[in-house]
Amino acid sequence: MLEFEWPIVLYFAALPLLIWLLPAIKQASITTVKVPFFTNFWKSLASVTEQTKWWVKLLAILAWLLLVAAAAKPVWIGDAIALPVEGRDLMLAVDVSGSMQETDMKVNGREVDRLTMIKFVAGDFIERRKGDRIGLILFGQQAYLQTPLTFDRETVNILLSESIIGIAGKATAIGDAIGLAVKRVRTTNDNNRILILLTDGQNTAGEIQPLKAAELAAQEELKIYTIGIGADEIYRQTVFGNRRINPSLDLDENTLKKIAEQTGGRYFRARNTEDLNKIYAMLDELEPLAKEDQFYRPTEVLFFWPLTLSMLLLLTVIRLRG
């Protein structure tokens, strides 16, 4: 749309009318202007009443109006264009080994296994990460890239929800999962590289040790946040009655802490659904979401068009009066 940056100048469009109505002002204006160009211009406007040809008067008035319009600095403002937002390359590595079938979690009051709880909570987290490229790694005895880094959060959510316990083997290859994440982010130019690794056990398989993989991640500036999944205690019915057990005895918290420290991340402990929700909220604070979409409207300066036309009309009027 068309706008004027200095709209107050448009009030000067009525100046010729005042000059025509007030002869004294008209005479003063003509005698005080010393620049020849503007002297001729004012004479043309001031003497329009003496013209016998009405269209010459019209040309003089139009020249003045165009000059005023040019002085008001017209600009054309185009449609809004979205600016690119700065996001992150965020990989999720989710443990789908056999131990994830432990039903020590609750979702909406219903006992569920650990993977189901992760799906329930991670879905909202993924949906919130607008502007981030998100990738998904599933690991058990081996690590698999389920989705490469993508802005398509819906697809990542779908593939996470379709994951099955044991699909990658019963053992746990934490080092291989980290190594795969390092390999995927190595090809990107983004400096904001994040890996969120969720597991309930310890490294029992794979070709690379977790701490060695963490060393490689640190070299690639891949920050790792590790999350240990599993309750501290649950009660199980046995032939001897209710028995209290710790279902997270296999969780290697020490290694997970070292991985996080070595890469500049943090270790978190998720004993239940509420804990994991809080962890994801903290991750949103530690690694803020990309800025909301910003827009700008391209502007094109147009003052030279009415200015040029005004000068042409003025020269025509002067020539006709000469």
For the stretch 144-174, pLDDT in tens is: 999 999 889 999 999 999 999 999 999 999 9
In CATH, what number is assigned to the domain containing residue 259?
3.40.50.410
Domain co-membership, 130 together with 185: yes
For the stretch 25-65, pLDDT in tens is: 445 444 454 545 555 555 555 554 444 466 777 777 788 88
Domain co-membership, 311 together with 195: no
pLDDT of residue 5: 80
Domain co-membership, 229 together with 315: no
Domain co-membership, 160 together with 274: yes
For the stretch 275-320, pLDDT in tens is: 999 998 888 888 876 555 556 667 778 888 888 888 888 888 777 7
Q: Which domain holds residue 14?
A: 2-78+297-321
Judge contact between 89 and 132, C-beta under 8 A: yes
pLDDT bin (cut points 50, 70, 90) of residue 104 is confident
Domain co-membership, 145 together with 282: yes
Structurally, the chain folds into a number of domains equal to 2
What is d(CA 134, CA 283) in angstroms, rounded to the nearest whole number? 14
* Reported pTM: 0.64
For the stretch 35-45, pLDDT in tens is: 455 555 555 55
Domain co-membership, 106 together with 39: no
CB under 8 Å, gap of 24 or more: what pairs does 278-281 form? 279/227, 280/121, 280/122, 280/124, 280/125
Domain co-membership, 34 together with 155: no
Residue 74 CB-half CA count within 13 A:
16
Domain co-membership, 71 together with 90: no
